[in-house]
C-alpha cells in the first residue's frame, strides 16, 4: 500500500512535484503520513450485517506542500489500494489549510538550528554592523536581556551570578533526575516477584487483528495520529459498540513564565499512534502476553514504519472476587459461593514528549467493558515558592506579553493556597444534588417485564475543566467542557478534535456538534467521554510519576441487557455446601464447575 501510494504522488501530482520523505525539509512537497481511510459507517454495516460487497480499501494521505506559492496542507483519499489510480479530498473539511497549521513534523523541528545557521552565514556581517553575535558571543551578544525569577539582567555575567552562589546540580547517574533504581531495597533478599501463568494455554484467540475471548470479539487497530481504536465490539454475537477509540490527549500548563503559561499541547499533533512504540515484556505487559504489530507510512521514510510490539494482549487475575456470598446463619443452610475476576486486557502505551499514557481496554466475563488511561510524567516544573496547604483551583487572567495582539489576555489555572483552621472548615461537600444514571437503551427491545435493553456509562475519570470555553486555546478543545456528551452519529463528525485545531480559526469545534441540538431518541448515537486530572508537581514526582492515583477510567455495564449476570456462567466459580447430620455440620462439599485448581510450576 505505502509503496503504491508514494509512487502515485512522486510520479506527478497536479501543480506539484514531490520529494522523497528522507530528503524532506520545510520547503518541498512531501507525503507526511498515510493511513487506512475508514469507509462511511453505513457502508461498513451493510458489509458486516447485510451481505453487501466490501468497500474498496483506500488510503488517507496528508501532504505538506511547502513549494507552492501559498504553502498549505491537503488531505486526500487515494485508491484503490490494490492499484492507486485516483484521489479526492477528504470530505467534511477544507480542501486546503495553511501550512503553519500543520501537525508537528521532524522537518519543522530543524528550525531550532536557525541561530547556528544564521551565525554561519551572516555572523561576520552582524559582528561588523552591530558589534555582536547570535551564538558563542561571550559578553557581546545581540540577545542581551534575560529574565530570571522576576528579575531582569542585561548581560550574561549578571544573570550567572545567582548560579555561582550554590553548587551546580549533580547530573551524574546519582542525580534524582536520572531514571535508574537506587535507594534501600524493599526486601533484603532479592526474591523473585510473583508471576501469573496460564496453565492450560491462552484462552483468547488472535487472527490478524481480530481478537476473540469467551463471548467477546472485536477488531483492533491503531491510527498514526489519533491512537488506538477498537471496532465492531460484540458480546454473544450482539454488537455492543461500533467503535471505541482514543480521540485526543491534551495538556494545559500554568505557570509564571510565558514558556509555561502559554504551553498548551494537543498531543495528536505529535502523532499519538505512531509513538505507541515497543512494549517491554515483563514490565509494560506480563511476560506471557501476546503482541500485535502496527505499520504506518510516516514522514521519516517512504518505507513503512513497523512496530512489532504496538499492542499487548493478556489475561489478568485481578485478585478480587467477581461475586461472592457466605451464608452462615444458624438454622439456615450454610454455603459459600464465589468466583474470581478474570479479565482480558488490550494495552498500548504512546509516549509523547514527557508523557507516557498506558491505555487499557479491559473486557470482563460478565459483559462489562472498562477503558482506562494511566499517565506517567517526566515533570516540567515552574519556579515558585512552595508550602504544604490545601490548594483551591481558580481561573486567572494574565496580560499577554507574547501575542501579536497587544490587548489579548491568557487564561490559565492558578492554585490559591488557603489554610484551613478547623475540621468544619476543611470538610468539603461536592454537589450531589443531581445524581445521574446515564443509560443507553433500545426502546424497541423489551423484555417480559417491559424493561428496555441497554448499557450504562459510569465515568470514574471526570474532572472539572474551569477555564472559560471561548478564551485562549480553549475553543480548540471545547470537548473538555463536558464530562460526557451524546450526539447523533454523522459521517461529518468523525472525531472530537481536528489535527489542524486553531484557537482563533478552528476547522470545527466540538461545541458545534452539540449546538445543532438534534434529537437523540431512537437514533444512532455517539458517546464522547472526557477524563482528566489536575496535577501539581511534587518531590515524589522525581524522576518520573508513579502509577498510584494516576489512573482514570470509565465503564460500560449491561443494564437490563441480560436476564441475569452473564458472570454466572464462568467456570472458575467455587461453591461450598455444608453437609449436615443431626443438626451438625459433618463435612463440606466443594464444587468447582469443571475447572482444575492444581498448577505445577516446577
147 DSSP β-pair partners:
152
Task: Please confirm, yes or no, whether 267 is among the known catalytic residues.
Answer: yes
Residues 6 or more apart whose Cβ sits within 8 Å of residue 85: 8, 79
Q: Are 395 and 416 in contact (CB under 8 A)?
A: no
Q: What is the C-alpha separation between 550 and 350, in angstroms, rounded?
A: 16
CA distances from 307 to 33, 88, 276, 286 (A): 16, 29, 8, 18
Q: What is the C-alpha separation between 98 and 73, in angstroms, rounded?
A: 6
Three-state secondary structure call for residue 25: coil
Neighbours of 408 (CB within 10 A): 13
Question: Sign of dihedral through CA atoms 253, 262, 257, 176?
Answer: positive
The greatest distance separating any two alpha carbons of the chain, rounded to the nearest whole angstrom, comes to: 111
Q: What is the C-alpha separation between 566 and 366, in angstroms, rounded?
A: 5
Neighbours of 509 (CB within 10 A): 21
CA distances from 97 to 36, 66, 476 (A): 21, 12, 16
Q: Please identify which of the residues 355, 357, 465, 559 carries the catalytic annotation.
A: 355
C-alpha cell at 185: 531495597
Residues 6 or more apart whose Cβ sits within 8 Å of residue 329: none
The terminus-to-terminus CA distance of the chain in angstroms comes to: 48
Task: Please confirm, yes or no, whether 284 is among the known catalytic residues.
Answer: no
Q: What is the C-alpha separation between 496 and 529, in angstroms, rounded?
A: 10
Tell me which DSSP letter residue 176 carries: T
Collect contacts of 433-441 with beta carbons under 8 A, ≥24 apart.
438/484, 439/559, 440/486, 440/525, 440/527, 441/559, 441/560
Alpha carbons within 13 angstroms on the beta-carbon side of residue 296 total 28
CA distances from 366 to 73, 227, 460, 564 (A): 47, 27, 19, 10
CA distances from 146 to 153, 162, 223, 472, 476 (A): 5, 13, 43, 26, 32
Collect contacts of 75-84 with beta carbons under 8 A, ≥24 apart.
77/37, 78/5, 78/8, 78/34, 78/37, 79/37, 80/56, 81/1, 81/4, 81/5, 81/56, 81/57, 82/57, 83/4, 84/4, 84/5, 84/7, 84/8, 84/59
CA nearest to 412, candidates 253, 250, 251: 253
Q: Please identify which of the residues 35, 267, 302, 356 carries the catalytic annotation.
A: 267
388 DSSP β-pair partners:
none
Cell 515552574 locates to: 382
C-alpha cell at 42: 453505513
Instruction: State which H helix or E strand residue 33 sits in.
Output: strand 29-37
Which amino acids are annotated catalytic?
A: 267, 355
Amino acid at each position: 500500500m505505502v509503496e503504491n501510494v508514494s509512487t502515485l504522488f512522486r510520479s506527478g501530482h497536479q501543480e506539484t512535484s514531490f520529494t522523497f520523505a528522507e530528503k524532506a525539509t520545510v520547503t518541498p512537497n512531501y507525503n507526511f503520513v498515510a493511513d487506512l481511510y475508514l469507509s462511511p459507517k453505513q457502508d461498513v454495516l451493510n458489509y458486516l450485517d447485510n451481505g453487501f460487497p466490501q468497500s474498496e480499501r483506500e488510503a488517507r494521505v496528508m501532504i505538506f506542500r511547502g513549494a507552492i506559492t501559498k504553502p498549505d496542507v491537503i488531505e486526500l483519499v487515494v485508491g484503490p489500494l490494490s492499484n492507486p489510480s485516483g484521489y479526492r479530498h477528504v470530505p467534511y473539511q477544507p480542501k486546503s489549510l495553511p501550512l503553519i497549521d500543520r501537525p508537528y513534523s521532524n522537518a519543522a523541528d530543524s528550525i531550532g538550528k536557525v541561530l547556528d545557521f544564521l551565525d554561519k552565514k551572516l555572523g561576520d556581517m552582524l559582528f561588523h554592523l552591530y558589534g555582536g553575535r547570535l551564538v558563542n558571543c561571550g559578553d557581546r551578544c545581540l540577545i542581551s536581556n534575560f529574565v530570571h525569577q522576576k528579575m531582569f539582567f542585561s548581560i550574561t555575567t549578571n544573570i550567572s551570578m545567582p548560579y555561582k552562589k550554590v553548587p551546580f546540580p549533580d547530573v551524574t547517574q546519582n542525580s534524582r533526575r536520572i531514571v535508574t533504581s537506587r535507594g534501600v531495597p524493599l526486601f533484603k533478599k532479592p526474591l523473585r516477584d510473583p508471576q501469573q501463568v496460564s496453565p492450560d494455554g491462552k484462552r483468547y484467540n488472535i487472527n490478524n487483528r481480530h481478537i476473540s475471548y469467551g463471548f467477546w470479539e472485536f477488531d483492533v487497530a491503531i491510527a498514526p495520529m489519533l491512537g488506538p481504536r477498537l471496532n465492531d465490539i460484540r458480546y454473544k454475537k450482539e454488537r455492543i459498540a461500533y467503535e471505541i477509540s482514543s480521540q485526543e490527549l491534551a495538556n494545559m500548563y500554568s505557570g509564571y513564565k510565558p514558556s509555561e503559561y502559554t504551553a498548551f499541547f494537543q498531543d495528536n499533533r505529535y502523532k499519538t499512534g505512531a509513538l505507541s512504540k515497543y512494549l517491554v515484556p515483563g514490565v509494560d505487559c506480563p511476560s506471557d502476553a501476546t503482541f500485535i504489530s502496527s505499520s504506518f507510512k510516516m514522514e521519516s521514510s517512504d518505507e513503512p514504519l513497523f512496530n512489532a510490539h504496538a499492542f499487548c494482549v493478556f489475561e489478568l487475575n485481578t485478585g478480587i472476587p467477581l461475586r461472592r456470598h457466605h451464608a452462615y446463619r444458624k438454622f439456615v443452610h450454610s454455603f459459600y459461593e464465589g468466583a474470581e475476576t478474570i479479565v482480558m486486557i488490550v494495552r498500548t502505551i504512546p509516549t509523547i514528549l514527557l508523557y507516557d499514557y498506558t491505555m487499557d481496554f479491559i473486557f470482563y466475563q460478565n459483559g462489562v467493558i472498562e477503558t482506562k488511561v494511566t499517565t506517567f510524567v517526566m515533570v516540567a516544573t515552574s519556579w515558585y515558592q512552595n508550602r504544604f496547604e490545601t490548594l483551591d483551583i481558580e481561573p486567572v487572567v494574565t496580560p499577554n506579553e507574547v501575542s501579536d495582539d497587544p490587548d489579548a489576555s491568557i487564561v490559565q489555572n492558578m492554585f490559591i493556597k488557603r489554610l484551613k483552621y478547623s475540621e468544619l472548615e476543611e470538610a468539603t461537600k461536592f454537589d450531589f444534588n443531581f445524581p445521574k444514571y446515564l443509560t443507553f437503551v433500545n426502546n424497541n427491545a423489551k423484555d417480559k417485564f417491559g424493561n428496555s435493553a441497554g448499557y450504562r456509562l459510569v465515568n470514574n475519570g471526570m474532572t472539572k475543566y474551569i477555564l472559560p470555553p471561548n478564551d485562549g486555546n480553549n475553543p480548540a478543545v471545547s470537548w473538555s467542557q463536558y464530562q460526557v456528551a451524546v450526539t447523533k452519529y454523522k459521517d461529518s463528525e468523525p472525531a472530537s478534535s481536528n489535527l489542524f485545531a486553531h484557537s482563533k480559526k478552528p476547522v470545527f469545534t466540538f461545541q458545534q456538534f452539540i449546538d445543532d441540538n438534534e434529537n437523540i431518541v431512537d437514533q444512532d448515537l455517539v458517546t464522547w467521554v472526557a477524563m482528566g486530572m489536575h496535577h501539581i508537581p511534587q518531590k515524589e514526582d522525581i524522576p518520573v510519576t508513579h502509577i498510584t492515583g494516576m489512573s482514570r477510567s470509565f465503564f460500560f455495564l449491561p443494564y437490563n441487557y441480560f436476564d441475569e449476570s452473564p458472570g454466572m456462567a464462568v467456570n472458575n466459580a467455587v461453591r461450598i455446601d455444608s453437609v449436615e447430620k443431626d443438626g451438625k455440620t459433618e463435612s463440606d462439599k466443594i464444587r468447582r464447575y469443571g475447572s482444575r485448581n492444581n498448577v505445577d510450576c516446577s
